[in-house]
Amino acid sequence: MRGQNLDSIFYPNRIAVIGASDHPNHRGSTVMRNLLGAGCKRPIYPVNSDQESVHGIHAYSRVIELPKIPDLAIVCSDAHQTPAIVAECGAVGIPGMVILSKGFSEIGPEGKALEDQLRNEARRYPRMRVIGPNSYGIVIPRLQLNASFARHTPEPGQLAFISQSKGLCASMLDWAYSDRIGFSYFVSLGNAIDVSFHDLIDYFGNDPETLGLMLYIVSIRDVRAFMSAARAFSQNKPIVAFKSGRFAKSAEAAASHTGVMVGEDAVYDAAFQRAGIVRVSQIDDILDCAELLSRQRTPRGARLGIITNAWEPGVAAVDALLARDGTLASLSADTVRQLDQLFPSNLAHDNPAHMPRNASPEEYAQATRILLKDPHLDVVLIILTPRRLADPTVTADAVGKVAQKSSKPVLAAWMGGQAVQQGIQILNQAGVSAYNTPEHAIRAFMYLISYARNKEILYETPRDIPVSFTPDRNMLREFLRNHPQELLSECESKRLLESYGIPITHPQVAHSAEEAAKIARQIGLPVVLKILSPQITRKHEVQGVALDLATEQCVRVHYERIIANTKKYRPDADIEGVTVQKMVADPTGVELILGMKRDANFGAVIMVGMGGIATQVIYDQVLGLPPLNERLTRRMLESLKAWPLLLGYRGRPAVHIDRLIEIPMRLSYLVADHPEIKELDINPILATSDNAIALDACIRIDREQVGHPSRPYSHLTILP
């Protein structure tokens, strides 16, 4: 299989440089200079039809003339020559290629056509693997192999880096070299006609030299393969990702609240979380975060304890922690007692735990030991400001020795300039991630907690919430196939939801004021009236809703008013009447929105958030990828700012969490079964202390998808 043939690229015995050159400004000269300068001990075959030797090494006119078949070919030739070069390499049996040539899809349609030609040529050779074109190259420090444009070769390390950005590759390699940060592999994907993220994630996941992975992502093509590879990697090793393009310049108009609220970047957030990936928001966090996660133990919880020898940095750490919704631990009574004995003064021994400004290294070590034993703490942060007795270097050594014996992660903020640098190095060598400021340490702590929570999802077995239903899937597919319009009515949408066991109110259609009054009398007052039109989904915007109508006369009056309002605000709309349904209200209930949208890359995405008419004002929502289980659904709800309201707040009862959790789970089954659904809104869901019920619903179907069988679950990123 193609995915198994990457050893030829990352463990080559012989290397050919096609387009090698002596010209100082040619890419072929840069690559030759870097290979030789890094001390690469593999035989190197320059290929250049115009030169007898390149950088003092005998050159060959064509690949076919090489004395032995190389494992890896580095292509530095002009773009228009690359298809023929791939064909020649494939014909002689070269299994690996890295194409540094530029001038393909990145320059426009003409380059795109050339790239398609290159891809088609490469596919003729099933055993060949290709990185690029338009790649910055690859670097494998432990092999002293620098087949890139980088001026320096970084040190060997345990972190692999994969990037879609050539510009970032140059900066990252220079940064890593100056800071003496090592890599196991460094790979620029380029335009990725063959080898992509998922191939490398799988490959590096099985590499014992790689303990963590860094990704710079512009976009992901094969999202299902990416998610599968990332989820497998993250179970044992951390992945840190920076995704560019957080804010879209424009958004396509959508019929539902979900369609408007679910942006591409939010979908990437949901996908990364589901795959166990930690997303960083700043480029300069990539290296720090990857080193932290690969070095530190995964914490059991999110409770942070802080030790400091100065009041102000401790306060800064707490401010930074709370600003990021972190958890400041409460110290146990026994911990406070031991700190009081260690520092018998008027110092505050809560959290942060304050020590004397001139606390000695031994006192630092003892205080660290005390906090690490506290069962109420999961991670400890130690802050030091240099003082006469608090020697940063000696203190670092003392703290590091204590930290090495603990199962809990320890972070440090050694504040200062040159005076603390040796101490930071000592801490890092002892497995304590050390930073120059408390804020930087807190940012790292939150990344550590994010990784722990994402990893928990990968492993956790959900509690069993019984979810049973027997929908007639064939009948429902037939209904969708024969539906004349893209938009289902509220009645039709709710009927589909009810078939999957989602509780609903039951609307009935009235075509006149008298018929509305009759229905109201039959189902029992008070009732709700809503406009019924295939063009109108946001009924409140046309004043097409009347609530809590307690008499038949009110029903008649509001029927006429709703019809008149709709004609005024939407004269183009086809009005079919109104729906009449039982008024359901609970002053202690909470309104939520539940929706689904088809994302261009990740397929079906489910959203849950605060609902009602203020949905887009409050904007408290979170996304998840189906299928959902109990734990994933609960995690989504816990992520909402409104979660405390759901648990009960200031005398209000808690909602029935299990009943509420059932609804997104059931919706995920509906979405999985019906790829015809491209957009769905349930807004609001009323969650109360004894139930959760859908009060309104809107479903939009994809007419192009209806009646066209596709591969099962092809609209889902994660297979059920």
Are 469 and 666 in contact by the 8 Å Cβ rule? The answer is yes
- The SS3 assignment for 683 reads strand
Length of the chain: 720
The pair phi, psi for residue 7, each rounded to 5°, is -60, -35
Tokens describing residue 636:
């989504």
Q: What is the pLDDT of residue 463?
A: 56
Residue 463 is encoded by which pair of tokens? 């509690």
Provide the phi-psi class of 472: left if phi over 0, else alpha when psi is between -120 and 50, else beta. Answer: beta
The answer to whether residues 296 and 409 touch, using CB atoms and an 8 Å cutoff, is yes
Digit-coded pLDDT (tens) for 64-96? 999 999 999 999 999 999 999 999 999 999 999
Contact present, 157 and 110 (Cβ < 8 Å): no
Q: What is the dihedral sign for C-alpha 554, 556, 558, 561?
A: negative
* C-alpha–C-alpha distance, residues 200 and 462, integer Å: 31
Which residues lie below 8 Å from residue 611, measured CB to CB, with a gap of 6+?
Answer: 591, 592, 593, 594, 683, 684, 685
> What is the Cα–Cα distance from 436 to 391, expressed in whole angstroms?
15
pLDDT 10s digits, 649-677: 888 899 999 999 999 999 999 999 899 89
The segment with the largest mean pLDDT, out of 346-350, 462-466, 697-701, is 697-701
Kindly report, residue by residue over 266-313, the tens digit of the pLDDT: 899 999 999 999 999 888 788 888 878 887 788 989 999 999 999 899
Helices of type H across 389-512: 392-404, 418-429, 438-459, 473-482, 490-498
Q: How far apart are CA 288 and CA 405, in angstroms?
A: 23
Q: Distance between CA 122 and CA 73 in Å, rounded?
A: 13
**Mean pLDDT across the stretch 692-700?**
94
488-545 pLDDT, tens digit each: 999 999 999 999 999 999 999 999 999 999 999 999 999 999 999 988 988 988 999 9
Beta strand ranges found along 583-662 (DSSP E)? 590-599, 603-610, 621-624
Residue type, 442: I
pLDDT digits (tens, 9 = 90+) for 9-21: 999 999 999 999 9
Among 325-339, 664-678, 683-697, 698-712, name the one with the lowest average pLDDT: 698-712
User: Rounded CA gap, 131 and 98, in Å?
Assistant: 5
DSSP for residue 216: E
Q: How far is CA 459 from the centre of its chain?
A: 17
Cα separation of 490 and 57, whole Å? 76
The band of 710, judged by pLDDT with boundaries at 50, 70 and 90, is: low
The pair of three-digit structure tokens given for residue 293, joined into one six-digit string: 């996660």
Q: Compare 557 and 708 and report the one with higher pLDDT.
A: 557
